[in-house]
Amino acid sequence: MTDAAHEEHDGYDSAPGDENKVDVIAGTKGYMLGMAFAVVLTAASFWVAGTDLIWAPGIPIALGALAVAQMGVHLVFFLHISTGPDNTNNILALAFGILIVILVVAGSLWIMANLNHNMLPMDQLMQMQR
């Protein structure tokens, strides 16, 4: 990048790997750092699931926190999502994707919660099978 381009970019947020698109070594360092974080978080998840050192009801919370951290690593280091002005469409697409996932999960939970209420009693169901 030229000096003018660097000055223009200095005021904005950038994701790891966006520093210099021409320098392959700098881009590879960002990906390797992201991979190291992902491997550490994955190993930590397996450790949390298999250890007795964490209070049993706290294990799902710990796994959820590690999963959110893992998603953050992937978004920043591999998908290069940042708050820069050139990433507005990426952030909007990410927000829309999150909305869709929330709708699918909430709808599934709602359907499963009301499934027994909407089912026929077992004696009526058995009479239908005859």
CA–CA dist 17, 90 (Å, integer): 16
pLDDT band at 4 (very low <50, low <70, confident <90, very high): very low
Closest by CA to 63, choosing from 37, 42, 77, 78, is 42
Structure confidence at residue 13 (pLDDT) = 61
More confident residue, 68 or 16: 68
Structure confidence at residue 15 (pLDDT) = 64
- The overall average pLDDT reported for the chain is 83
Phi, psi of 17 (to 5 degrees): 100, -15
pTM attached to this predicted model:
0.64
Structure confidence at residue 90 (pLDDT) = 82
Share above pLDDT 90 across residues of the chain, in percent, rounded to a whole number: 45
Joined tokens for residue 46: 């397996």
Residues in the chain: 130
Neighbours of 126 (CB within 10 A): 10
pLDDT at 68 over 90: yes
pLDDT band at 120 (very low <50, low <70, confident <90, very high): confident
pLDDT band at 7 (very low <50, low <70, confident <90, very high): very low
